Amino acid sequence: MNSPLPKIRKGLLDAERRRKGIYILPNLFTSAALFAGFYAIVQGMDGKFENACIAIFVAMVLDGLDGRVARMTRTTSEFGAQLDSLSDMVSFGAAPALVMYSWALQPLGKWGWIAAFVYCVCAALRLARFNTNIGVVDKRFFQGLPSPAAACLMAGLIWVLNEWHVKGGDVGWYAWAMAVFAGITMISTVPYYSGKDFNLRRSVPFWVIPAIVVGYLLISIQPSHVLFGLFVCYALSGYVLAGIRLARGYNPPSHHPPKPPSTT
């Protein structure tokens, strides 16, 4: 006869979680990222594409902060993880697709909205796969291009060309290629360095500090061009890494749990 104690304990733990409510600090960052994504959509609909692109970059920064704040303050929760995924879908899935469609893809007719939808659905698939593969894949590398990087790749193209006074309709097919490339790369198995093994408490060589200062200066001089160039390099780095692994015959380690011993 099964004891009812485990079920009782589980019910008590669930009740305790409900009484605790939600953690405010990390969810403030997540909500701010969601607002930035929504603001980007509104600005894109109003034709203010530079503001829309900047808002997507701001959402990326806030999205990177919420998880770190939650881990540093030990306020991680399942609610926060689910809210983060929904925020990512708006800020890095719907927002870049709609802004790109408003800027350059709309004159292409059905081909334009197909490209925007391809990007949007690939972002959703990328997020769903990421959520289901937590604890299974190598945490040092992302499987496919992360959705914030793909969104900044889209926004960066618009931001740079908008500063050059290039109209979206004049580069519609280039924008179409970028949307499809970013979408397909998100759902690919191309490895991208995650940076999650980077420890801020670890000592670094002296030259790292001047390099960071130079990076800040370059971004401050021409933020759109520098940021777009960085994300282009990051998007291509996965394919370079995949090519190196293929040439070396690299086999990723298996992270599946071992099979239980046979009872026969």
Q: Tell me, letter by letter, the H, E, C secondary structure of the chain.
A: CCCCHHHHHHHHHHHHHHHHCCCHHHHHHHHHHHHHHHHHHHHHHCCCHHHHHHHHHHHHHHHHHHHHHHHHCCCCCHHHHHHHHHHHHHHHHHHHHHHHHHHHHHHHCHHHHHHHHHHHHHHHHHHHHHHHCCCCCCCCEEECCCHHHHHHHHHHHHHHHHHCCCCHHHHHHHHHHHHHHHHHHHCCCCEEECCCCCCCCCCCCCCHHHHHHHHHHHHHHCHHHHHHHHHHHHHHHHHHHHHHHHHHCCCCCCCCCCCCCCCC
CATH of 23-198+205-248, one of 2.40.50.100, 1.20.120.1760, 2.40.50.140, 3.30.360.10: 1.20.120.1760
Q: Where are the domains of the chain?
A: 23-198+205-248
pLDDT in tens, 192-227: 998 776 666 677 677 777 888 888 888 888 999 999
Q: What is the pLDDT of residue 262?
A: 44
Output the pLDDT for position 58: 97
Which pTM was predicted? Answer: 0.84
Task: Flag residues of the chain having pLDDT under 70.
Answer: 1-21, 135-137, 197-201, 204, 250-264
pLDDT of res. 258 = 46
